[in-house]
Amino acid sequence: MRIGELSERTGTSRRLLRYYEEQGLIVSQRSPNGYRHYDERFVDRVLQIRGLLDAGLPTRIIKQILPCLDKPRVIHFPDATPEMLATLELERDRMTERIECLIRNRDAVAEYLDTVRTNRRPEVAA
């Protein structure tokens, strides 16, 4: 698929897709006219990248852990520095805290909705 279709299917701007490519997070094949063509698997890859970026991971770390997201999983560990492992542990803990906060917020919204629906007065027909 061309960059425009990948952009539409992932909700990611073409500019960001080119940036991901510059960072080595995705790759494209070039046609003779210079157009980028992406494999179907990059739809999920781009969504994974966006999720990891949203979680606060820098692209240099994402590039190292992306093989872990593939199936079959391939884990490269020779370049895993103590700094990288500490960063991943910190980010994992931050994600856990954010997940717990989201769960609390979701539960509060659900409780509010239940209370409002239970105590709502029936609408009077006109």
Q: Give the model confidence (pLDDT) of 38-58 as tens digits.
A: 999 899 999 999 988 988 888
Are 3 and 55 found together in one domain? yes
Q: Give the integer Cα–Cα distance in Å for 51 and 5.
A: 19
**Tens digits of per-residue pLDDT, 5-49?**
999 999 999 999 999 999 999 999 999 998 999 999 899 999 999
Are 41 and 27 found together in one domain? yes
Query: Which residues form the domain of 115?
Result: 81-126
- pLDDT tops 90 at residue 81: no
Are 72 and 100 found together in one domain? no
Tell me the pTM: 0.66
CATH code, 72: 1.10.1660.10
Are 89 and 66 found together in one domain? no
55, 61 Cβ separation under 8 angstroms:
no
Please tell me the predicted confidence (pLDDT) of residue 74: 60
Please tell me the predicted confidence (pLDDT) of residue 124: 60
Which stretches of the chain are DSSP H helices? Answer: 3-10, 14-22, 42-54, 59-69, 82-119
- pLDDT tops 70 at residue 77: no
Total domains in the fold of the chain: 2
